[in-house]
Amino acid sequence: MNLHASRLVALALVLGAHIVRAAPEAASPRSDFPDAQASDPAKLGWMVGSPPPPDRIIRFEDGSYWRFPAMRWTASNFRQLMPTVNVSRGLGPIAPLPVAHRDDIDGVRFTPLGTNRAMTWRQSLDANYTDGIIVLHRGRIVYERYFGVLKPEGEHGAMSVTKTFVGTLAAMLVAEGTLDASKRVDHYVPELAASAFGSATLRQVMDMTTGIKFSENYADPDAEVWAHGAAGNPLPKPKDYSGPRSYYEFLQGVKPEGVHGEAFHYRTANTDALGWILARVTGRSVAQLLSERIWGPMGAEKDAYMSVDSIGTPFAGGGLSAGLRDLARFGEMIRNNGTFNGRQIVPPMAVADIRRGGSQADFAKAGYQQLPSWSYRNMWWITHNEHGAFAARGVHGQTVYIDPKAEMVIVRFASHPVAGNAAIDPTSLPAYHALARHLIQAGR
């Protein structure tokens, strides 16, 4: 694999994990991308045939799997192209999700951020290249749609929503006393003592307020994001490659920059470090821990899976693929203070800590102009709006959005051509809030 192809694959790996903080000029998507209908992967016929036509073949090794519009197919088919590890649902019964479909949701209207032109809920789905979306109200499915190649029985990349699962697992272990959030990282993983992570506390890692050198400037060939992607790339390395060959090796070389605890910086390396801590303390990989502590107990409908590096380490920062309804079960469980399927799965103390949020002052330093007054806690995004909404978020439009006041959970999978949520939030966040208000009003 040549250097260009190697970088394409590395970029695809890291883009699958990061919520890129877009500059103000990036808030609107480029106009030269084909729209949702023109880029529909089912209509374009990617990977159909035995074999597919040459111009419809997608490969991992050359990076073509993450070029738009091919990536709209890939987002629902990661397992076909790259090594993965299972997240088992176990052998228990499936927890049912009652169905009470509503016919008044598509017409809900809202005004996107930065405009004065109203849009309907249904129009927003195309605007955001939605692949699948489900809405629970009071625990019942009131809305469910699939587009492109995603089917109810399929899985879709959750991207950085993966981080929220890892953060929730850590919050559970803190609440149970297995982890102490005030202890330093090197207390749990001595191998990280010489890295920038060693002197950070577990809490600073969980809330991403570490002072680590980790640039995500993709225009800079020396940015750490390239080394991170290359380390996690499971393909054979080029003969002249001398960098880290796994996530573990990469983390040990992370350098300090800034001061721990002073500001929020969204950096995927934090979640990789947290995954290592969880694995060391529990003796279980992140995939195994997720299976045993959340996926099985909540009565998931189907197995999930995670991408892995060359030694089989699950990608804690963004490697999860799962079914839409199972992410809805997870969101509903969190909405109900950790209770679901007749069990207390996440300690109420952990859920309360998530919902309180983190430091809004620390978050403001990150400069997210479309997220005023938000914060970040245990790898959840907290809106601090009048409904107390909070969310898991991932690039290209992935979300688990929980509105406690509206008793609502929204899960969306998408494959927007622009990775950063700055291009997606203007037609997503107002839509979610408008639907919450609609459900509250209709329920009176």
Place of tokens 């299976």: 291
Count the Cβ atoms, other than its own, within 10 Å of residue 93.
8
Rounded Cα–Cα distance for residues 346 and 330 (Å): 10
Rounded Cα–Cα distance for residues 307 and 13 (Å): 10
- Return phi, psi of residue 256, to 5°: -80, 150
Count the Cβ atoms, other than its own, within 10 Å of residue 152.
13
Rounded Cα–Cα distance for residues 117 and 111 (Å): 6
Question: Residue 67 corresponds to which tokens in the numbers above?
Answer: 């070029």
- Return phi, psi of residue 394, to 5°: -145, 160
Q: What are the CA-CA distances from residue 25 to residues 116, 265, 444 (Å)?
A: 19, 20, 41
User: Cα-atom radius of gyration of the chain, to the nearest Å?
Assistant: 20
Does residue 321 have an active-site annotation?
no
The answer to whether 163 touches 332, Cβ cutoff 8 Å, is no
Rounded Cα–Cα distance for residues 367 and 23 (Å): 9
Count the Cβ atoms, other than its own, within 10 Å of residue 441.
9
Rounded Cα–Cα distance for residues 338 and 343 (Å): 8
Rounded Cα–Cα distance for residues 330 and 392 (Å): 11
The answer to whether 395 touches 68, Cβ cutoff 8 Å, is no
| Catalytic residue from among 64, 160, 307, 428 | 160
Find residue 340's DSSP bridge partners.
Answer: 343
Question: Residue 389 corresponds to which tokens in the numbers above?
Answer: 């909404």
Helix (H, G, I), strand (E, B) or coil at 196: coil
Handedness of CA 262, 268, 269, 272 (dihedral sign): positive
The answer to whether 9 touches 58, Cβ cutoff 8 Å, is no
Active-site positions read 160
